[in-house]
Structure 1
Amino acid sequence: MLPTLLVGGQVARVWRPVDDGIKAMAFHPLSSATWDGLAAEARSLRGLLASRGTKVHSRHHHCWATLPEAEIRLLA
């Protein structure tokens, strides 16, 4: 199962850790305020994941290639 983004209690899409931050992909367009909130959450999440590195989720990388095209942002 891919890690998910929750926006207002609804699954908005998926995320994965990368070397520069958290790469997030949205199911539908999100407002700038929502992306700003997700970026704040990503900063907290990066602290939690710091000791784990990005390879923990590497088994899911092939799934990203099968997802439909969508907005992708790097939340640094």
Structure 2
Amino acid sequence: MPNKQIRALREKSEAELEAALRSAREALYRHRTDQAMRRLEDPNAIRKRRKEIARILTLQRERQLARE
């Protein structure tokens, strides 16, 4: 994920981050389903989605700790 995309994630509100997290988790589920059925074209797609989810969760945790 290029720095521009990370910067864009940091600018999102909590609600937007929740929506992005939900979307990324749904995409990960679809990728895993495609992999099980041998239809996944990009084998790195699962790894990319997992990293995206981790980044979003990290941002949420940073904000939670900043509020405390």
Class of the TM-score when normalised by the shorter of the 2 chains: 0.3 to 0.5
TM-score norm. by structure 2 comes to 0.40
Greater strand content: 1
Q: Decide which structure has the larger Cα Rg and report it.
A: 2
Q: How does the TM-score come out when normalised to structure 1?
A: 0.37
